[in-house]
Amino acid sequence: MFPFWNDIAAGSLDALARIHKLAALQSGPPAAVAQTPSEVVYTENKLRLLRYRSENRVHPSPILLVPSIINRYYILDLKPGRSLAGFLVARGYDVWIVDWGVPGPEDRFVTLDEHIDGHLRECVGVVLDETGRNSLTLLGYCIGGVLASIFSALHSETVRNLVTLTTPIDFHDDGLLSLWARREHFPVDRLVDAYGNMPAWLLGASFKLLSPTSDLANTWTLWERLDDPARLDDFRALNRWVEDNVSVAGEAYRKFVVDCYQENLLVQNRMRINGRAVNLGDIRAPLLNVVAQRDHIAPCGSAAVLNELAGSRDATLLSLDGGHIGAIVGRDAVEDFWPRLDAWLAERSA
């Protein structure tokens, strides 16, 4: 009898101490993110082009990281030890990243064509001019991978290598997101006409609804990690990013949803950017396509199809255990995926 009550009492005291810690975390400063030293090399509208200079550059070919337009760029520079940008810099690469910024209400008129054939194209131009090279490696994450793939198809001469991380290409898959975004379920035209931009809060709510039990699971994870400062910090940094959705420029969002999710034009090589047809077969650069086996945003099959469609002679499909985010920046990714990415890039970045 006594040992049981002792357990309850000890457990209750421990729980009180944890609640106190949780409250302190809630009222304290947010987790520090994007700490790898960088400089802003170019800006236009809300976009910033950042450069992470390597002190021991080994590989002359620059790498341009292209994050998604619906989240902040710092998922690729989360925190020391969990920064893909920092890792690549330490391995001797000249790393650049596109920070798409946060669209204002006036950016409702910015199109997907402008994102790809304007902003991204200009960033590629700046990187090539600054480094004196005539081609670079494009590494896109999620929707950033879609933009990088389309850009590589349209401007293959400037792309030395293409790396796509958990990038949806065939949008008619069996995932919830694909189902919800179909024309019969999602009035995207009405939404953009009414709101201008796709609001960040609505995007955030939709992603939470994809996995309704995740908030509870996250709370439990936070509770468990309260005694482990390093893992707690990892969790808080990642959670800060997950909660940090940004609005998406209205016209860009409309075209992305209609052309990709509703009409599935990209996979049929029927999508058009600035009047030019996007033929994924025009991607000639060596391709590393990374898919995650438990990805509910870009399901494996939806992402893996790029290897069949791209015209690259050197195409590698890397299937990782994990979800959309964990497989790319999780603890296992740091130890397993990142070194494999480095090995693939090193062979092709001379």
Catalytic residue list = 142, 295, 324
Number of H helices and E strands in the chain, helices first, is 16, 10
How far from chain centre, in Å, is Cα 154? 21
Among 212, 275, 313, 335, binds another protein (CB under 8 A): 212
Residue 134 contacts another protein per CB under 8 A: no
Nearer of residues 113 and 122 to another protein, judged by Cβ? 122
Neighbour count for residue 257 (Cβ, 10 Å): 22
Among 30, 80, 81, 193, binds another protein (CB under 8 A): 193
Residue 113: CB minimum distance to another protein, A? 13
Nearer of residues 286 and 299 to another protein, judged by Cβ? 299
Among 25, 126, 318, 334, binds another protein (CB under 8 A): 126
Torsion 144-142-168-94 (CA) sign: positive
> Rounded CA gap, 338 and 315, in Å?
18
Residue 134: CB minimum distance to another protein, A? 14
Residue 69's φ and ψ, nearest 5 degrees, are -90, -5
Residue 21 contacts another protein per CB under 8 A: no
Nearer of residues 171 and 344 to another protein, judged by Cβ? 171
142's tokens: 């999620």
Piece in contact with another protein (CB under 8 A), picked from 81-89, 121-129, 310-318, 320-328:
121-129
Piece in contact with another protein (CB under 8 A), picked from 141-149, 187-195, 271-279, 334-342:
187-195
236, amino acid identity:
R
287's tokens: 């391709």
Residue 298: CB minimum distance to another protein, A? 17
Helices (H), the chain: 2-27, 84-90, 112-113, 121-131, 143-154, 176-181, 188-195, 200-210, 214-224, 229-243, 250-255, 300-304, 306-309, 326-329, 331-332, 338-348
Residue 39 contacts another protein per CB under 8 A: no
Torsion 170-246-118-84 (CA) sign: negative
Piece in contact with another protein (CB under 8 A), picked from 190-198, 273-281, 312-320, 328-336:
190-198
Residue 350 contacts another protein per CB under 8 A: no
Residue 194 contacts another protein per CB under 8 A: yes
Residue 212: CB minimum distance to another protein, A? 5
Map the footprint of another protein across residues 55-114, applying CB under 8 A. 104-110
Nearer of residues 7 and 243 to another protein, judged by Cβ? 7
Nearest C-alpha neighbor of 239 from the set 285, 204, 276: 204
Number of residues that bind another protein (CB under 8 A): 44
> Rounded CA gap, 343 and 350, in Å?
12
Residue 210: CB minimum distance to another protein, A? 8
Q: At what angle do helices 2-27 and 214-224 cross, to 10 degrees?
A: 110
Rounded to whole angstroms, the maximal C-alpha distance in the chain is 78
Residue 176: CB minimum distance to another protein, A? 6
Point out which residues pair with 48 in neighbouring strands: 43, 99
217's tokens: 């699971």
Residue 176 contacts another protein per CB under 8 A: yes
Residue 228 contacts another protein per CB under 8 A: no
Point out which residues pair with 43 in neighbouring strands: 48
What is the residue whose two structure tokens read 């590494």?
139
Nearer of residues 48 and 82 to another protein, judged by Cβ? 48
Among 2, 190, 275, 335, binds another protein (CB under 8 A): 190
Residues that bind another protein (CB under 8 A): 4, 7-8, 11, 14-15, 42-45, 104-110, 118, 122, 125-126, 129, 176, 179-180, 184-187, 190-191, 193-196, 209-213, 216-217, 220, 224
